[in-house]
């Protein structure tokens, strides 16, 4: 048998074992916790496992990534098993649907369509997807209600741009952001909390558009900024000579700079 076929059947063997294993856990004599799970009760787990896989990717930790991808796969199999018990669908239906969709959306691989760049391949994918989703009436349809607001803002912005709704140049985006900051300042000076919240949303949405314009993933940029801040704050705690609560603003600023220099030296072995 061809080596590729042997590999295929080995992989399928373990997948089948996993599906059977989850079936046992969900059975009458299985695990009480697994038996009581529903699609809704597992929602936090699906999100958590996906984010932990992203953490592993960001850390270039292949050992961790292998484990976390397994946890993501567990969620897929669990949901499929629950659906099977409800006579809705099973893991085979999930796999077949994905298999057929991938083939249909890659006519440049499995058909006669020609593309000459990743951008053209993406345009082809989007065109076919639009034809598949012909029931959608608005360009704004299809934005997930469950993903983070930052990710939603990115998707909304991209959908609008595909319809031609775009700033003429990058400077106009900067002008928009400055305008939103001014409107927030005006609302703040008027002590209008409702308007402040609205204008803050406009600021964030405008900044997301600036990220998109420069081909920056705003979600990943903020994740990295969060991590950088936590790393520097931990270094501040390490370098502090008294409780942080006793530091003045000026002392905090000096300690922050010291932490930044210390981390720079550690990273570059200076």
Burial of 94-108, coded b for 16+ CB within 10 Å and e otherwise, reads eeeeeeeeeeebbee
State the DSSP code for 216: -
What sign results for the dihedral spanned by CA atoms 7, 9, 12, 14? negative
What local confidence, expressed as pLDDT, does residue 269 receive?
63
- In angstroms, the first-to-last Cα distance of the chain is 56
Instruction: Report residue 37: phi and psi, to 5°.
Output: -75, 150
What local confidence, expressed as pLDDT, does residue 133 receive?
84
Length of the chain: 270
What local confidence, expressed as pLDDT, does residue 11 receive?
60
pTM over cut 0.85 = no
Digit-coded pLDDT (tens) for 139-190: 788 888 878 899 899 999 988 998 888 999 999 999 999 999 999 999 999 9
Distance CA 65, CA 54 (A): 8
> Which of helix, strand or coil describes residue 133?
coil
What local confidence, expressed as pLDDT, does residue 1 receive?
41
Residues in the chain with pLDDT < 70? Answer: 1-12, 269-270
What local confidence, expressed as pLDDT, does residue 7 receive?
53
């Amino acid at each position: 048998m061809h080596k590729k076929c042997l590999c295929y059947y080995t992989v399928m063997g373990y997948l089948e074992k996993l599906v059977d294993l989850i079936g046992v856990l969900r059975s009458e004599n299985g695990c009480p916790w697994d038996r009581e799970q529903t699609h809704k009760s597992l929602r936090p787990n699906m999100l958590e496992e996906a984010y932990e896989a992203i953490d592993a990717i960001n850390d270039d930790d292949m050992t961790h990534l292998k484990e976390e991808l397994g946890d993501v796969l567990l969620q897929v199999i669990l949901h499929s098993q629950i659906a099977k018990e409800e006579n809705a669908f099973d893991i085979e239906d999930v796999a077949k649907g994905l298999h057929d969709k991938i083939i249909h959306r890659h006519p440049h691989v499995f058909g006669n369509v020609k593309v000459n760049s990743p951008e053209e391949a993406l345009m082809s994918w989007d065109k076919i997807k639009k034809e598949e989703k012909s029931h959608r009436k608005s360009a704004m349809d299809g934005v997930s209600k469950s993903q983070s607001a930052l990710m939603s803002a990115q998707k909304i912005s991209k959908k609008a741009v595909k319809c031609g709704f775009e700033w003429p140049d990058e400077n106009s985006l900067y002008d928009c952001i400055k305008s939103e900051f001014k409107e927030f300042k005006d609302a703040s000076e008027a002590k209008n909390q409702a308007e402040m919240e609205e204008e803050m949303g406009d600021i964030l949405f405008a900044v997301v558009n600036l990220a998109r314009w420069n081909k920056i993933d705003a979600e990943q940029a903020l994740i990295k900024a969060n991590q950088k801040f936590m790393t520097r704050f931990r270094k501040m705690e390490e370098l502090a000579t008294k409780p942080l609560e006793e530091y003045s603003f000026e002392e905090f600023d000096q300690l922050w700079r010291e932490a930044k220099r210390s981390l720079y030296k550690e990273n570059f072995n200076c």
